[in-house]
Amino acid sequence: SQKIEQNSEALNIQEGKTATLTCNYTNYSPAYLQWYRQDPGRGPVFLLLIRENEKEKRKERLKVTFDTTLKQSLFHITASQPADSATYLCAINTGGFKTIFGAGTRLFVKA
C-alpha cells in the first residue's frame, strides 16, 4: 500500500541553524508533493508544493527538494527561529483529488 514516512522523533535545533526534515514514500509516483505546517490544536497550513519535474523549490527561508528516484523529499528551514517550532507534514497526491499525509515531524527551535 502507499506509505509516507516522516521521522517520528522530534528534531531539536539551535536558533539560527538549518533544520532539515525528511519525507520518504513508497509504492507510488506522485506528480507533486506538498509540505504543510501544523501548530498544536490547529489545522495544517500550506507551505510549499513541488512538482515531479522540479528538483528544488524555494520560498523565503524554506527550501524543498524532490528526488523521484530515491522517492524522497527534504524540507529545509534556514536561519531557524523559535517561531518555526511546529509539526511539519509531508503530503502526496495519490490521484484525482486525494492526498495522503505523513504523520509529521515535530521541530523545536531553541533560542
Partner 1 sequence: GAVVSQHPSRVICKSGTSVKIECRSLDFQATTMFWYRQFPKKSLMLMATSNEGSKATYEQGVEKDKFLINHASLTLSTLTVTSAHPEDSSFYICSALAEGFYSNQPQHFGDGTRLSIL
Q: Which residues in this chain contact partner 1 in the complex, by CB under 8 A?
A: 4, 8, 31-32, 34, 36, 41-46, 49, 51, 89, 93, 96-104
What minimum distance in Å lies between the beta carbon of 44 and partner 1? 5
1 or 69: CB nearest partner 1: 1
What minimum distance in Å lies between the beta carbon of 31 and partner 1? 7
Helix (H) or strand (E) segment spanning residue 6: strand 3-6
46 or 110: CB nearest partner 1: 46
What minimum distance in Å lies between the beta carbon of 28 and partner 1? 14
13 or 101: CB nearest partner 1: 101
18 or 31: CB nearest partner 1: 31
> What residues contact 57, with CB distance under 8 A and at least 6 apart?
48, 49, 50, 63, 64, 66
> Is 2 within 8 Å of 94 (Cβ atoms)?
yes
Residue 109 carries which side chain, given as an amino acid letter?
A: V
Cα–Cα–Cα angle for 100, 76, 44, rounded to 5 degrees: 40
